[in-house]
Amino acid sequence: MVTRRMFIVSGIVASGGLAIGYALMPYTTLGRARKIAGKPDASMLTTWVRIGTDNSVTVIVPHSEMGQGVHTSLPMMLAEELDADWSLVRMEQAPADMAFANVGLARGFLRGDKSIPGVLSGPADFTFRKIAELMNLQLTGGSTSVRFTGVDGMRRTGAAARAMLIKAAAQKWSVPELEIVARQSKLTHASGKSATYGEMATAAAELDVPSNVQLKRKSDYTIVGRPIKRFDIPSKVDGSARFGVDLRLPNMSFAVVAASPVFGGKLKSVDEAPAKSMRGVRQIVKLPDAVAVVADNTWRANQALMALRPEWDEGPNAATSSASIFAAMDAALDAGKFKSDFSIGNVDAALKDARKVIGHAYRVPYLAHATMETMNCTAHFDNGKLTIWGGFQDGLGARAKAAKFAGIPIDDVTLNHTAMGGGFGRRGSTLNYLQHAIGVARQVQGPVQLVFTREEDMTQDYYRHGSVSRMNAALDDKGKVTAWLHQFTEKFDPPEATMVNYDFANQASRYVKGLNPIPWGPWRSVDHTQMGFFIESFVDELAHEARQDPFEFRRAHLSAAPRHKAVLELAASMAGWDKRPAAGQARGIALREAFGTIVAQVAEVALTKDGRVRVLNIWSAVDPGEVVNPATFTAQIQGGAVYGLTAALYGEITIAKGRVMQRNFTEYDMVRMGDVPRHEVRFIESGAPTGGAGEPGTAPIAAAVGNAIFALTGQRIRELPFKNFDLKTGTRIAAL
């Protein structure tokens, strides 16, 4: 019977690492998968696809849909290789079970792929988890879905299933396999014999998975590369999509929670009296670091919660502020006890010998994720077993954490995925909402839905860290960079986010760590968000110092990076870089590689009457290797740029007395329709290994806009967000 051979077949077991992974698995993958996802009238051909006798093709996707279109693009990849009739293809999200672990991702990790995503790097157990834990991955983040699951899993699975169907037909009809044509979910033979995939599925399921499968040539694709309509969209225009917060169960209670406003604080005491008698209130639940009110609806729970005056033991962060954090960062950079990030050549010597050295310091603040659906989770304890409902970027990881929080074996935890109202890294490994829901549910009869108010969501996030960066570089007489020294605070993920793709002769990157007292979490594109701003703004400064055009300067330093060069050139030509912008407007350019995808962006800006920046146009040239669904990929690049633009223009979380000061969108403003520039996206499909879609669009935008502001006003703004500055004079107008 087919057990592990699928993975052997697909080459995933090529390295010893995954063999260990199998040894760690307490059951055969396929048997388990079949039990969970199999339906009585369907044959499970492989882990990721089910072909019904009714000829339906159900693709089982191990990732969560957050709006990035993965529930459609992964089935597209499988259906392409299967030669399925797309109108018969359906999608089901896999349950949070080991049988659907993201083996592709683990493989990418084991073979040393550098772009392992930020969601892996939880605040507590960051860096390299044990392989055993890796095998638990089912995460959606770091733009991994299409890159790993799609390429390694879906494609080969589809091709293997097709081969098995052909083989089954060949046996039944006593004809050679080579004479059978498989197309549009149908098998045909020149003799006139034909069968649907569904008719052959049961026979095919008896066969072993082929030891080698042939993947299609790109030129033969009929599904991949087309703007196929997403499966999930109809339910998102009529209110029928069920997000975590929309779950309604019989006898359900609603809970609203307030955790210690100071990070790391504990609940000292709370007088329950003011809330207890309020209408609808069922219970007041104390947790070590929080208090929650359980009521018959969300609003009543919140009214009662607001009536409470909990006392907190504020702990060691009671005096922490943005000012104290940044002062500590500056002091640490002054002290110079660096960890080496990477080093090429001899940067110290090159700087010493240089005729011209340029140095500047940059800085970015903390940021919250602010997903539109606030954090929430529904939990139910029943006879010692726990059932969870919610949106999780890593279902298996969340299930394992739930078991830990509840102190019960993982087999006693069932996790049900719901639609997610945004993830951006927040719903990965940072699970305070899960922990609180479990803490409340174990003290409550029946299921309880715990919801963060927007204020709780914004003040109890895991934040993109603030950081300071000091950059130094040397230029020779011809305007070539001979030394590049980047020293900064904090390094999380991915490791290569600090790299530059330019052929600078001597480079070093160094950092100091341990300066961040605030809960950290991966935020769309993770360290690229700040590295994109630091590096690409400073490169622009170097171009200016070298008296060169910023596009030509970059281009001249890309001799060893032909893909980057092509992307840069495309962006410039899309923007008409060689033509002068209209009066009162200027352009800036930036280039980044993030998660395997290279993006160059040109931003065109003007100033409003009150001196604020208005971004009019963005042109993005993108090389992700290949594009599975151009419509969703374009939307991801555009959406990623909006996310990054919000951070560049407005985004700032500040800390005072250990607390987050911004509590709602009133104080943490967002880019809205009126701020959104026209944004043209074009792709180069270089055929390089597939890169991510969700995050690369975020990385260069702040630098592109900052560089355009410089081109317009001559002011170099070295700190985000831009709203804090008078852009005409470059002076800070907001208090620190």
Partner 1 sequence: MISLTVNGAKHEVDVEENMPLLWVLRDVLNLTGTKYGCGVAVCGACTVLIEGAAVRSCSLPAGLVSGKSITTIEGLSAGGALHKVQQAWIDAQAPQCGYCQSGQIMAAVALLSDKPKPTDDEIDSVMTNICRCGSYAQVRAAIHAAAGT
**Which residue number, 162 or 679, has a Cβ lying nearer to partner 1?**
679
Q: Residue 570 has which token pair? A: 């495309």
Q: Does 421 bind partner 1 (CB under 8 A)?
A: yes
Residues 273, 323, 372, 734: which binds partner 1 (CB under 8 A)? 372
Q: Which stretch binds partner 1 (CB under 8 A): 306-314, 336-344, 607-615, 659-667?
A: 659-667
- Helical spans, DSSP H, in 206-311: 273-276, 298-307
The beta strand positions in 596-710, using DSSP E, are: 597-607, 613-623, 655-656, 659-660, 678-683
With tokens 């502020």, the residue in question is: 321
Site for partner 1 in 522-561 (CB under 8 A): none
Closest CA to 21 of 134, 146, 156, 168: 134
Residues 127, 212, 214, 664: which binds partner 1 (CB under 8 A)? 664
Q: Which stretch binds partner 1 (CB under 8 A): 55-63, 265-273, 365-373, 606-614?
A: 365-373
Q: What is the spatial distance between Cα 408 and Cα 80, in angstroms, rounded to a whole number?
A: 42
**Which residue number, 50 or 300, has a Cβ lying nearer to partner 1?**
300
Contact at 8 Å (CB) between 397 and 367?
no
Q: How many CA atoms lie within 13 A of 711 on its CB side?
A: 29
Residues 270, 344, 670, 688: which binds partner 1 (CB under 8 A)? 670
**Which residue number, 233 or 734, has a Cβ lying nearer to ligand FES?**
233
Shortest reach from residue 678's CB to partner 1, in Å: 8
**Which residue number, 182 or 693, has a Cβ lying nearer to partner 1?**
693
Residues 251, 340, 383, 666: which binds partner 1 (CB under 8 A)? 666
The size of the interface with ligand FES (CB under 6 A), counted in residues, is 3
Angle among Cα 55, 36, 103 to the nearest 5 degrees reads 95
Q: Which stretch binds partner 1 (CB under 8 A): 25-33, 95-103, 224-232, 461-469?
A: 224-232
Encode 336-384 in three state secondary structure.
CCCEEEEEECCHHHHHHHCCEEEEEEEEECEECCCCCCCCEEEEEEECC
Q: Does 251 bind partner 1 (CB under 8 A)?
A: no
With tokens 């605030």, the residue in question is: 518
Q: How many CA atoms lie within 13 A of 409 on its CB side?
A: 2
Q: Does 242 bind partner 1 (CB under 8 A)?
A: yes
With tokens 């504020």, the residue in question is: 314
Shortest reach from residue 373's CB to ligand FES, in Å: 8
Residues 62, 67, 700, 721: which binds ligand FES (CB under 6 A)? 67
Closest CA to 66 of 396, 417, 455: 417
Q: How far is CA 336 from the centre of its chain?
A: 32
The contact mask relative to partner 1 for 68-107 (x = CB under 8 A, - = no) is: xx--------------------------------------
Q: Residue 226 has which token pair? A: 């087309």
Residues 29, 529, 601, 638: which binds partner 1 (CB under 8 A)? 638
| Residue number of the CB atom closest to ligand FES | 372
- Helical spans, DSSP H, in 650-736: 701-713
Q: Which stretch binds partner 1 (CB under 8 A): 78-86, 185-193, 196-204, 661-669?
A: 661-669
Site for ligand FES in 361-380 (CB under 6 A): 372
Q: Residue 452 has which token pair? A: 């963060």
**Which residue number, 236 or 279, has a Cβ lying nearer to ligand FES?**
236
Residue 374 binding result from ligand FES, partner 1, none, given CB thresholds of 5 to 8 Å by partner type: partner 1
Residue 66 binding result from ligand FES, partner 1, none, given CB thresholds of 5 to 8 Å by partner type: partner 1
With tokens 């197309």, the residue in question is: 183
Residues 81, 272, 373, 541: which binds partner 1 (CB under 8 A)? 373
Q: What is the spatial distance between Cα 239 and Cα 252, in angstroms, rounded to a whole number?
A: 21
Q: Does 447 bind partner 1 (CB under 8 A)?
A: no
**Which residue number, 585 or 715, has a Cβ lying nearer to partner 1?**
585
Residue type, 551: F
Angle among Cα 109, 398, 305 to the nearest 5 degrees reads 140
**Which residue number, 253 or 537, has a Cβ lying nearer to partner 1?**
253
Residues 217, 248, 355, 547: which binds partner 1 (CB under 8 A)? 248
Contact at 8 Å (CB) between 7 and 13?
yes
Residues 234, 288, 316, 514: which binds partner 1 (CB under 8 A)? 234
Angle among Cα 625, 630, 631 to the nearest 5 degrees reads 150
Residue 63 binding result from partner 1, ligand FES, none, given CB thresholds of 5 to 8 Å by partner type: none
Alpha-carbon separation of residue 538 from 15, 359, 509, 706 (angstroms): 41, 9, 14, 10
Find all residues with CB under 8 Å of 620, minimum gap 6, and list them: 571, 599, 600, 601, 637, 638, 641, 679, 680, 681, 682, 697
Q: Does 422 bind partner 1 (CB under 8 A)?
A: yes
Query: Which own/partner contact pairs does 189-193 have at CB distance under 8 Å and 24+ positions apart?
Result: 193/169
Q: Does 419 bind partner 1 (CB under 8 A)?
A: yes
Shortest reach from residue 390's CB to ligand FES, in Å: 17
3-state secondary structure (DSSP) of residue 533 = helix
Shortest reach from residue 371's CB to ligand FES, in Å: 8
**Which residue number, 442 or 454, has a Cβ lying nearer to ligand FES?**
454
Edge-to-edge strands, sheet with 585-594: 585-594, 597-607, 613-623, 678-683
Residue 56 binding result from partner 1, ligand FES, none, given CB thresholds of 5 to 8 Å by partner type: none
Q: Residue 733 has which token pair? A: 């107008």
**Which residue number, 121 or 374, has a Cβ lying nearer to ligand FES?**
374
Q: Does 422 bind ligand FES (CB under 6 A)?
A: yes
DSSP letter for 147, please.
I
Element (H, E) at 385: strand 385-390
Q: What is the spatial distance between Cα 161 and Cα 520, in angstroms, rounded to a whole number?
A: 43
Residues 285, 641, 649, 712: which binds partner 1 (CB under 8 A)? 641
Q: Does 298 bind partner 1 (CB under 8 A)?
A: yes
The contact mask relative to partner 1 for 324-363 (x = CB under 8 A, - = no) is: ----------------------------------------
Site for partner 1 in 166-205 (CB under 8 A): none
Shortest reach from residue 603's CB to partner 1, in Å: 15
Rg of the chain (C-alpha set): 27
Which positions touch ligand FES (CB under 6 A)?
67, 372, 422
List of residues contacting partner 1 (CB under 8 A): 65-69, 227, 229-230, 232-243, 245-246, 248, 254, 279, 296-300, 370-374, 419-424, 451, 453-454, 631-632, 635, 638-643, 664-666, 670-674, 676, 678-679
